[in-house]
């Protein structure tokens, strides 16, 4: 069974065609600059990648170019569109309405649209992707997989903010959490590695990438996570500040004589390790700069490790223990220095790192010593495969 996985942004569209029986990626690619001019990068498995400038006036035309590429005589991977059995869409926000993935119907689309004001930059783009695919493949069943759904199991004490309750009632202001597909996929795998499926388990997942979040998973369900009402909350990230005193927003608006919207843009796009270091949001650049003696780059890296360790400590406390933690995503999978720096804070939990194992990059591996009281693992995430699996599971 082939599942076409679609992740639509406001001017981009990432896709993978996955054979779910073998879990192999048949082709993947990216459409960029949709609505501006348009560029398709198509990577068929076992064939040369193709790059093409194409006029993508909207997402529908982008999807039609992708479908053409998938069925092309030279660089295609399937004979015709009937080889696509289902489409899995990544949807960022499902609000409180969606605690799991759903088959897309007109009612579902309406309900997703009602969540748009919770994710005004992402959800409308995700929905455009759904209608573009529906227009071109009307008979193919489609599934919505939400970033927020995995965290709907959080208890009230974890997801409510200390503000008047009426704002939760009226406006649904609360912690939602994001990266749910990744946290779900990685925690399932970690629990499998621990041999604790169906048993009591307490694990913490550190999804550390350009966007980063930590998630506490007790007995297989999310009980707390570091991102909040939006993905701005929690850890310091590539360009996002993470949690700060909200009074800073007003103070900065006054000092800069700018709007609250502009301050939020600073907190989302010009802050984080990039803002602190003045070097880059990319940890490879920061590592290099820090090794060359750049103090602010070093401080930014120290802050990132400190904040990550702080959440792990907090989640070990609220779960009353932790069996294992997993690092995942770009930094979590590849940056051994950050992993080591985080774990160095956690010796009091009995956590001990095997430096040789920790030197490995980008592969599934246990990086704690056999004596370590808490297991530490690297588990590569695969959100597209998780979406494809969910899609098949739902469609039976
Ligand atoms: P993500 O958002 O998950 O793609 O993660 C992006 C971050 O991961 C960047 O800060 C990169 O420095 C880091 N990263 C991604 N790939 C590698 C790699 N192969 N080696 C070292 N760092 C990497």
Q: Mean of the pLDDT values across residues 78-86?
A: 96
pLDDT of 200 strictly over 90: yes
Structure token digits, residue 19: 């054979």
What pLDDT, on a 0 to 100 scale, did the predictor assign at position 50?
A: 95
The closest-lying atom of ligand 1 relative to the alpha carbon of residue 287 is 12
331 lines ligand 1 (CB under 6 A): yes
% of the chain exceeding 70 in pLDDT: 100
Q: Over the stretch 222-279, which tens digit does the pLDDT of each residue have? A: 999 999 999 999 999 999 999 999 999 999 999 999 999 999 999 999 999 999 999 9
Alpha-carbon distance of 59 to 308, in angstroms, equals 37
> What mean pLDDT is predicted for residues 146-162?
98
Residues 187-207, mean pLDDT to the nearest whole number: 97
The reply to whether ligand 1 has any atom less than 6 angstroms from the CB of 329 is: yes
Q: What's the mean pLDDT in 30-38?
A: 94
Residue 156 has pLDDT above 90, yes or no: yes
Choose, from 19, 106, 117, 147, the residue flagged as catalytic: 147
Average pLDDT of the segment spanning 119-145: 93
Calpha distance 93→5 (Å, rounded): 17
Q: How many residues does the chain have?
A: 396
Is a pLDDT exceeding 90 seen at residue 349? yes
Q: Distance from the CA of 230 to the center of ligand 1, in angstroms?
A: 22
What per-residue confidence (pLDDT) applies to 10? 81
- What does pLDDT average to over the chain? 96
The predicted pLDDT at position 119 comes to: 87
Residue 122 has pLDDT above 90, yes or no: no
Please give the DSSP secondary-structure letter assigned to residue 353: B
CA 96, CA 61: separation in Å to the nearest integer? Answer: 32
Residue 121: its pLDDT value, please?
80
Band (pLDDT 50/70/90 cuts) for residue 84 is very high
284 Cβ partners below 8 Å, 6+ apart?
Answer: none
Confidence of residue 285 (pLDDT cuts 50, 70, 90): very high
Closest CA to 141 of 101, 113, 185: 101
Q: How far is CA 175 from CA 156, 168, 338, in A?
A: 10, 10, 27
| pLDDT(9) > 90 | no
Say what the pLDDT of residue 17 is.
98
For ligand 1, pick from 178, 335, 339, 381 the residue to mutate: most ligand atoms within 8 Å of CB.
335
Return the percent helix, strand and coil in the chain, to nearest 5. 40, 20, 40
Rounded average pLDDT over 128-139: 93
């Amino acid at each position: 069974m082939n599942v076409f996985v679609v992740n639509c942004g406001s001017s981009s569209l990432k896709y993978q065609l996955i054979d779910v029986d073998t879990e192999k990626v048949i082709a993947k690619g990216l459409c960029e600059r949709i609505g501006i001019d348009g560029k398709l990068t198509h990577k068929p498995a076992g064939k040369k990648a193709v790059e093409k400038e194409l006029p993508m006036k909207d997402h529908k035309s982008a999807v039609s170019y992708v479908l053409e590429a998938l069925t092309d005589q030279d660089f295609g991977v399937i004979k015709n569109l009937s080889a696509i059995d289902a489409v899995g869409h990544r949807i960022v926000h499902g609000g409180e309405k969606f605690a799991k993935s759903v088959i897309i119907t007109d009612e579902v689309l309406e309900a997703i649209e009602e969540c748009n004001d919770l994710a005004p930059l992402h959800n409308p783009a995700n929905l455009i992707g759904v209608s573009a695919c529906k227009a071109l493949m009307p008979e193919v069943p489609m599934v919505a997989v939400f970033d927020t759904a995995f965290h709907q199991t959080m208890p009230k004490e974890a997801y409510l903010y200390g503000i008047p309750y009426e704002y939760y009632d009226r406006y649904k202001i609360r912690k939602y959490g994001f990266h749910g597909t990744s946290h779900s996929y990685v925690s399932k795998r970690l629990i499998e590695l621990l041999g604790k499926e169906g048993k009591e388990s307490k694990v913490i997942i550190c999804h550390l990438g350009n966007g980063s979040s930590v998630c506490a998973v007790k007995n297989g369900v999310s009980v707390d996570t570091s991102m909040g009402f939006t993905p701005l909350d929690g850890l310091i990230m590539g360009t996002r500040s993470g949690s700060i005193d909200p009074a800073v927003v007003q103070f900065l608006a006054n000092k800069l004589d700018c709007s609250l919207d502009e301050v939020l843009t600073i907190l989302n796009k010009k802050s984080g390790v990039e803002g602190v270091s003045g070097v880059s949001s990319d940890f490879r650049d920061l590592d290099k700069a820090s090794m060359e003696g750049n103090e602010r780059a070093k401080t930014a890296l120290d802050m990132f490790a400190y904040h990550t360790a702080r959440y792990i400590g907090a989640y070990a406390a609220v779960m009353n223990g932790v069996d294992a933690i997993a690092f995942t995503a770009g930094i979590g999978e590849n940056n051994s220095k950050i992993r080591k720096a985080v774990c160095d804070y956690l010796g009091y939990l009995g956590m001990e790192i095997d430096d040789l194992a920790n030197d490995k990059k980008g592969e599934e591996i246990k990086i704690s010593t056999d004596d370590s009281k808490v297991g530490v693992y690297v588990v590569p995430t695969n959100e597209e495969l998780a979406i494809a699996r969910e899609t098949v599971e739902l469609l039976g």
